[in-house]
């Protein structure tokens, strides 16, 4: 009953108009993609629809979610990390052990930040605080991980001859590839660094605006927003550093040979098998 009441709430109906407006804008982007033959329509449209369905489902369930015992929120966050790693690893098409590396990098980056901030009291020990803030940190770490994988894959593929020319001289593999690993880390951190640079000047984040509109002290809202940005910054940095370190190793065989990146259409089953 509660769910039905929520669905017929006038504010939900009004929200639908806003969704429609956002959909029109997305349709424009997809239309331009189609006109310019970019071939991105499926990916753009699919992600848009999927995001909508998922967030509405989350909205419908979140009340129930907040009622779970605190101990389970750890499990929920772990599941989020796994799913984020699954989505993210597809960005490194053909990169050896991309899924395993994504799980480790995202898990480490998010866990260190979440645990530290919970210990410091910046994240309350309540499900309604831990799950959304944790989810936000994981989502941002995923973005960094995806960018790291994507860049690493293209750097190695386009510089394969250079890497092998140096490898053939008896250079340790991690040194032969380090320039390209560094480039992947740098590129993956551009959004986080730019967001920090423009924080307050161009980028006035939603959470801070919401807190101020909700009557919080603007200075405290700003402080808390900075804490959030710091968490995103740290989680992204740790994720990218971990991912790049592991990628740099996974790219080579035991005999220090640069592996071929064989692209595949990853299936869940196949990937789970590869974890063994």
Partner 1 sequence: MTDVRADDLRYEIDGERILDGVSLDVGSGETMAIVGPSGAGKSSLLRLLNRLDEPTGGTVHLDGTDYRTIDPQELRKRVGLVPQDPALRSGTVRENVTIGPRLRGETVSEERLANLLDAVGLAGYADRTTSDLSGGEAQRVAIARTVINDPEVILLDEPTASLDSAAEVEVERLLADLLASGERTAVLVTHDERQAERLADRVARLDDGRIVDVGRPKEVIA
Q: Give least dist CB 187 to partner 1, A.
A: 17
Stretch binding partner 1 (CB under 8 A), from 64-72, 161-169, 197-205, 235-243 = 161-169
According to CB under 8 A, which residues from 22 to 51 bind partner 1?
none
Q: Examine residue 126 and tell whether it contacts partner 1 (CB under 8 A).
A: no
Indicate which single residue of 1, 35, 71, 168 sits in contact with partner 1 (rule: CB under 8 A): 168
- Indicate the helix (H) or strand (E) that contains 57: helix 41-66
Q: Give least dist CB 268 to partner 1, A.
A: 24
Per-residue x/- track, 221-260, partner 1 (CB under 8 A): --------------------------------x-xxxx--
Q: Which is nearer to partner 1, 141 or 177 (CB)?
A: 177
Q: Which is nearer to partner 1, 104 or 176 (CB)?
A: 176
Q: Give least dist CB 96 to partner 1, A.
A: 14
Per-residue x/- track, 178-197, partner 1 (CB under 8 A): -x------------------
DSSP state of 254: T
Q: Examine residue 161 and tell whether it contacts partner 1 (CB under 8 A).
A: yes
Distance (Å, rounded) from C-alpha 103 to C-alpha 109? 10
DSSP codes joined into one string, 100-166: HHHHHHHHHHHHHHHHHHHHTTSS-SSHHHHHHHHHHHHHHHHHHHHHHHHHHHHHHHHTHHHHHHH
Give the residue among 272, 16, 238 at the shortest CA–CA distance from 112.
Answer: 238
Q: Examine residue 212 and tell whether it contacts partner 1 (CB under 8 A).
A: no
Under 8 Å CB-to-CB from 229, ≥6 apart: which residues? 195, 196, 199, 205
Q: Examine residue 162 and tell whether it contacts partner 1 (CB under 8 A).
A: yes
Q: Examine residue 265 and tell whether it contacts partner 1 (CB under 8 A).
A: no
Indicate which single residue of 35, 71, 120, 169 sits in contact with partner 1 (rule: CB under 8 A): 169
Question: Is the Cα dihedral 50, 55, 61, 62 positive or negative?
Answer: positive
DSSP state of 125: S
Backbone φ, ψ for residue 272 (5° rounding): -60, -40
Residues found near partner 1 in the complex (CB under 8 A): 161-162, 164-172, 175-176, 179, 253, 255-258
């Amino acid at each position: 009953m509660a769910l039905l009441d929520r669905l017929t709430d006038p504010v939900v109906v009004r929200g639908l108009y806003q969704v429609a407006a956002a959909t029109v804008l997305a349709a424009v982007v997809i239309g331009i993609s189609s006109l310019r033959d970019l071939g991105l329509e499926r990916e753009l449209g699919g992600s848009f629809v999927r995001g909508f369905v998922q967030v509405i489902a989350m909205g419908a369930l979140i009340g129930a979610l907040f009622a779970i015992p605190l101990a389970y929120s750890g499990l929920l966050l772990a599941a989020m990390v796994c799913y984020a790693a699954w989505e993210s690893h597809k960005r490194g098409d053909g990169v050896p052990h991309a899924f395993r590396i994504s799980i480790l990098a995202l898990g480490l980056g998010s866990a260190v930040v979440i645990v530290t901030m919970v210990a410091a009291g910046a994240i309350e020990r309540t499900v309604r605080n831990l799950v959304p803030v944790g989810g936000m940190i994981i989502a941002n770490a995923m973005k960094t991980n995806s960018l790291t994988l994507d860049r690493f894959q293209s750097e190695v593929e386009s510089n394969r001859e250079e890497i092998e020319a140096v490898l053939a001289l008896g250079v340790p593999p991690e040194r032969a590839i380090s320039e390209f690993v560094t480039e992947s880390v740098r590129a993956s951190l551009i959004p986080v660094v730019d967001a920090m640079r423009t924080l307050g000047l161009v980028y006035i984040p939603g959470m801070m605006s919401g807190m101020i509109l909700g009557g919080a002290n603007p200075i405290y809202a700003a402080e808390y927003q900075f804490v959030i940005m710091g968490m995103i910054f740290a989680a992204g940095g740790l994720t990218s550093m971990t991912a790049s370190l592991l990628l740099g190793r996974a790219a080579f065989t035991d005999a220090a040979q640069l592996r071929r990146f064989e692209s595949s259409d990853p299936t869940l089953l196949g990937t789970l098998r590869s974890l063994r």
